[in-house]
Each structure stands twice: as structure tokens, then as C-alpha cells.
Amino acid sequence: MENLHLAIAHRPPLPVPAAGHLRRRHLHLHHLPAPLSLPSTSHSLSSPHHHRLTPTLRRHLRPPLRVSQTPDANPEPEPEPESEPTGAKLVPFVISVAVGLAVRFLAPRPVEVSPQAWQLLSIFLSTIAGLVLGPLPVGAWAFLGLTAAVATRTLPFAAAFSAFTNEVIWLIVISFFFARGFVKTGLGDRIATYFVKWLGSSTLGLSYGLTISEACIAPAMPSTTARAGGVFLPIIKSLSLSAESKPNHPSSRKLGSYLVMTQFQASGNSSALFLTAAAQNLLCLKLAEELGVFIANPWVSWFKAASLPALAALLATPYLLYKIFPPETKDTPDAPALAEEKLKRMGPVTKNEWVMIGTMILAVSLWVFGDAIGVPSVVAAMLGLSILLLLGVLDWDDCLNEKSAWDTLAWFAVLVGMAAQLTNLGIVSWMSSCVAKLLQSFSLSWPVAFCILEGSYFLIHYLFASQTGHVGALYSAFLAMHIAAGVPRALSALALAFNTNLFGAITHYSSGQAAVYFGAGYIELPDVFRLGFITALINTFIWGVVGTIWWKFLGLY
């Protein structure tokens, strides 16, 4: 504040802002978090240069959730601008509704399909079109679809809302709470910082450290978006700024662009490695069960099938991107020291972190061995959340404020419920038989049909802005097509589920983590599409070659 008064004294013509404005600005700068503490000689968050950062950059530097356990000293709240409700976007709304009306009244209904099933299909297709075009937020549009199904008496109320008691959906919701616990306690941040300390002396080593740490955290932090926004992006930003690599600036190519792109592209393999590493994995297996495909001991079976191809892809991605999309800064000798300084500032592992560690070991152990001792996965998750609430690691407000969890509950339940009813009414079996006849007319063997269907399922994701939305819309139909084409059932269910994770990095809108990483300002849109497609080809080759051999060894076909 003294520097400010001196500046005003030397330049009297400048108008002095109001005292309240200065007070708010002082508080804002004072409470700005810095995930890694940097030397005073660098252009870092703790240096005087930080005060000259643009408002946009300061906004990017705030992590989504505060890691520190120490509360701020009553900072003055900044009023949020009020936005007037705009309602549905007209053009997407008209197109989405028109899709359903065209199917209902213009397309001829096959004789094998009942009027009720055809009407539900039209409502479902309108719902899916709205998820793609976005006339309303996802949860709101899904609720409109559910309302249409009940209001037109296509589905009775009990059948329409039956999926809200689905165990897998509640397991996904509780997983969001676990992810919040990792971020709130700082445990995820601490684990990632250790890997930076051990491997971060070069840019390539730094990338491997971040990639490996995410793979270690993934099974107990079942949200790729939360891992991206709550743990890895804040660390990457701090390391990049220490190398004078700034977002939305030509210097971004020094370090930040490579680290963000590598973490973004590798995250899909981390999510595919474990059943509990991403919400959509659990949803895939639930939808498979509704089609009669049951995976025995799902956590272990999933890990065994994914382990070799996922680990091979995780090891290849940082190196290949280092060659294709090289950073200007090759060595980062200060990174381990910065990480060690940060760990000293964090202090010893806190009680809440130990509780989080013990709880997640218990939950993962029950997910692995639960089938043998009769403990369902959702019960294991409920026990874990209860421990976190009882011991104060999370409080109920944390759960209530986790809007993404409740939003997911709403629209997941709608999509799963509609998909289940479509299966019960015979729509899925009718579609799969039509596809099977088409494939048989070309005399295709099941391996060729498998490749065509998997490739189609992958490429269609360019039309989707959500992995889980894609699963809810198409997983059941494609799995039924696989089965009708003669593809082994367990292989079909798992391969489609693995694919669901791998296409999460092909565009800037293809997943929650895509929006997080692209929004950081370090990667440009053409690079996202170009490298997303190249990495997709690399992943396809690795999973196709390594996976095919490994799955044959495991007896999946």
C-alpha cells in the first residue's frame, strides 16, 4: 500500500480510485493461491511481477478448489454478477424437437415394433439430439425428455423414475464426493508433487512424473475432470510460469503447451486402466448387464484386460508428443527444488490426509474383493463416504455443493431409465437384428465387424460433448450390434468401455477434462484437433496390437 501512495504522490494528475476499490484489490491479491512457491528472482506468483498480471491470467491461476486446510481471514466476498434467465436456445430447441416428431409421425413404424416403443424411441432421440445441440443444460433437457415420456403416457411414472434407485448411478455420485475429498485435503496435490520432485529435472521426466502420478491416483479418485482441474492443472500452471511460459502468449510453447497437451492426451489411458477411474466405466458395465453381459469380479477383470495396453499407451504418449509437439524448454532443473519447497510448506501429512488414505485403501480393497465377501461396490462407497463425514474430512455442505454430482444423478438416471425401457420394449433387439442382417449380407467375419463397429463408435464422438452422454445414448445399441455380429460378449462390453475413455481427448469439447485443459489457455484449437486425431491413431494402434494379443492370452476370444 505504501508503494501505491508513493506512485500517487509522484503522479498527481492520476485519479485516485475509491478506498473500497483499493481494499478489495488488496484482498484479492493477498489471497491469490499459488500451488508452487517460486524463487524471488523468477517471474512467479510470489514475485512483484505477479501484480502486473492481467485479470484474465489471475483468473486462470485460481485452482478450482482450495487445497490448504487453513481458512482465509474473512475475505470480503465479491458479488457475483446476476444473469437473467434466457430459457431454451430457439434453433437447437426446434431441431431437437423436430428430430423426435419426424421419427414419430413421418418415419414408417416397423411391424415388429409396438406403438409405445416407437413413441419412446422418438422421445429418446429428441433427448439425445438436445444433449448434442444444447438448447438447455444437460440436466434440464433430460428432465424435459422424462416429462414428455410421462405426460404422453409413454411410460408410467414408476418406470420413468426407476433408474433413480440404480446402484451404479449412486456409486458414480459418491465418486464425485471422493474426488472432492482428494482435492480438499490436498492429498492428490501432495502425491503429484512427490512425482515432480522425483522425475522433474527434465521436461520429459516432468511429463512422465505427472502422467504416472495420475495413474496412481485414478483408481481412488474416480473423476477425470476433478483430477484435471483440482490437482494437475494448478501444478502445471505454476511450473510453466516458473519457466516464464504464460497462457495466451507466444511463450506458452516453452513448457506449458507440452505439459497440458501431454496430460490431456494421457488422461484417457489413466481412466481406462481402472474400473473406478472414471464415472462412465461403471455406467458401461451396468448397461452391459441389462443386455445380459455380466463380467465376473468386474474390478479385477477390468484391470487385467486394460493393464497391458493402457500401460503401454501411458509410457508411449509423453515421448511421442515430445517428438511431435516438442517444448522449447528441454530441461527443468528448478522443478524438483520447487516441488521440495512446496512439500516443506505443506508440512507433514495431516490427519485428514491420513483418513483419506485409509478410507480409499478400504474402498478400493472392497471394490477388488467385494464380490468374494458379499459387499457390493455401492455399499463399499457408502461406507467410505460415511467415514469421511464422521471424521470431518468432508461435511454435508461439501456434498450439497458438489453440483456436478447431483446434475449427473439427474440426467444419468433419465438416460439409463430410457435405455432400459427401450431394451424392455424390444427396440434395441430390433436395431441389432437389422444391423446383423446388414453385416451378414456383406459376409463379414466377426473381427471385421468388430473393427467397423468400434471405429464408428469412436468417430461418432465428434458429435458429442460428453463421454457419459455418449454412453447413455449409444453404448447399449452398439453392444447389441456387436453381439448380433457374433463378437464375443465380454470382449464387446470391455472394448466399447475402453474406447469411451480414449475418445475423451479428440476435441476441446469431447469431455469435462477437455474443457478444463483447453480453458487454461496453453493449447490452441488447431493443435487440439490435430494432436487429438494423431494421438487417437496412436492409441488405436497400441490398443489394437497389444490389446489383441493380451486379450487372446486372457481368453476373451
Based on the domain organization, do 113 and 204 belong to the same domain? no
- Shared domain for 151 and 286, answered yes or no, is no
Cell numbers given for 504: 475423451
Confidence of residue 7 (pLDDT cuts 50, 70, 90): very low
Q: Which domain holds residue 102?
A: 90-164
List alpha helices for 256-395, DSSP H. 256-273, 279-290, 298-324, 335-346, 351-373, 377-390
- Domain for residue 239, yes or no? yes
Which tens digits make up the pLDDT trace of 404-444? 788 878 877 887 788 778 878 888 778 777 877 777 788 88
Q: Are residues 224 and 112 in the same domain?
A: no
Same domain, 148 and 198: no
248 and 281 share one domain: yes
Closest C-alpha among 555, 537, 545, 548 to residue 455: 537
Beta bridge partners of residue 331, listed in sequence order:
202
The tens digit of pLDDT for each residue in 262-300 reads 999 999 999 999 998 998 898 899 889 888 899 988 999
Q: Is residue 210 very low, low, confident or very high in pLDDT (cuts 50, 70, 90)?
A: very high
Nearest to 279 by CA among 469, 546, 54, 481: 469
Q: Is residue 149 part of a domain?
A: yes
Closest CA to 243 of 229, 263, 259, 228: 259
> Quick one: what percent of the chain has pLDDT higher than 70?
85
Residue 213 domain-assigned? yes
Per-residue pLDDT tens over the stretch 447-490: 999 999 999 999 988 877 778 778 877 898 899 889 988 999 99
The answer to whether 313 and 543 are in contact (CB under 8 A) is yes
Q: Alpha-carbon torsion 121, 111, 162, 500, what sign?
A: negative
Cα separation, 346 vs 189, whole angstroms = 10
Cell of 308: 497391458
Arithmetic mean of pLDDT, 550-556: 95
Output the pLDDT for position 95. 94
What pLDDT is stored for residue 490 in this prediction? Answer: 95
Strand partners of residue 208: none
∠ Cα 167 284 180 (to 5°) = 60
Phi, psi of 221 (to 5 degrees): -130, 80
| Residues 387-424 as b or e (16 or more Cβ within 10 Å = b) | bbbeeebbeeebbeebebbebbbbbbbbbbbbbbbbbe
**Crossing angle of the two packed helices 187-199 and 203-217, in degrees rounded to 10:** 150
Give the per-residue pLDDT at 28.
39
Residues 481 and 542 in one domain: yes
pLDDT at 85 over 70: no
129 and 194 both lie in a single domain: no
pLDDT of residue 530 exceeding 60, the answer is yes
Q: Are residues 256 and 210 in the same domain?
A: yes
DSSP secondary structure letters along 455-475 = HHHHHGGGG-S-HHHHIIIII
Is the model's pLDDT at 3 over the cut of 80? no
β-partners of residue 202 are 331
Could you tell me how many helices (H) and strands (E) the chain has, helices first? Answer: 28, 0
Both 272 and 237 in a single domain?
Answer: yes
Of 146-155, 189-198, 366-375, the least confident = 366-375
Judged by average pLDDT, the poorest of 3-7, 139-143, 483-487 is 3-7
- Mean pLDDT across 212-227: 88
Structural domain count, the chain: 2
pLDDT at residue 132 greater than cutoff 50 = yes
70 pLDDT tier (thresholds 50, 70, 90)? very low
Q: Which pLDDT score, from 0 to 100, does residue 535 have?
A: 96
Residue 66 has pLDDT above 50, yes or no: no
pLDDT of residue 55: 39
Mean per-residue pLDDT of the chain: 82
* 315 and 211 housed in the same domain: yes
Q: pTM for this structure?
A: 0.70
Same domain? For 219 and 327 the reply is yes
Whether residue 321 has pLDDT greater than 90? yes
Q: Which residues contact 420 (CB under 8 A, 6 or more apart)?
A: 162, 163, 290
DSSP calls for 392-451: TSS-HHHHHT-HHHHHHHHHHHHHHHHHHHHHHTTHHHHHHHHHHHHHHHTT--HHHHHH
Say if residue 499's pLDDT is above 60: yes
pLDDT of residue 11: 40
Question: What is the mean pLDDT of the segment spanning 250-259?
Answer: 94
- In angstroms, the Cα distances linking 144 to 245, 305, 430 are 45, 39, 26
106, 372, 466 from 95: Cα distances, Å: 15, 50, 19
- Residues near 330 by beta carbon (within 8 Å), at least 6 away in sequence: 202, 203, 204
Pairwise CA distance, residues 222 & 179, whole Å:
6
DSSP designation for 346? H
Residue 54 lies in a domain: no
Q: Which residue has the higher pLDDT, 502 or 21?
A: 502
| The pLDDT value given to residue 407 | 84
466 and 318 both lie in a single domain: yes
- Residue 242 has a pLDDT of 83
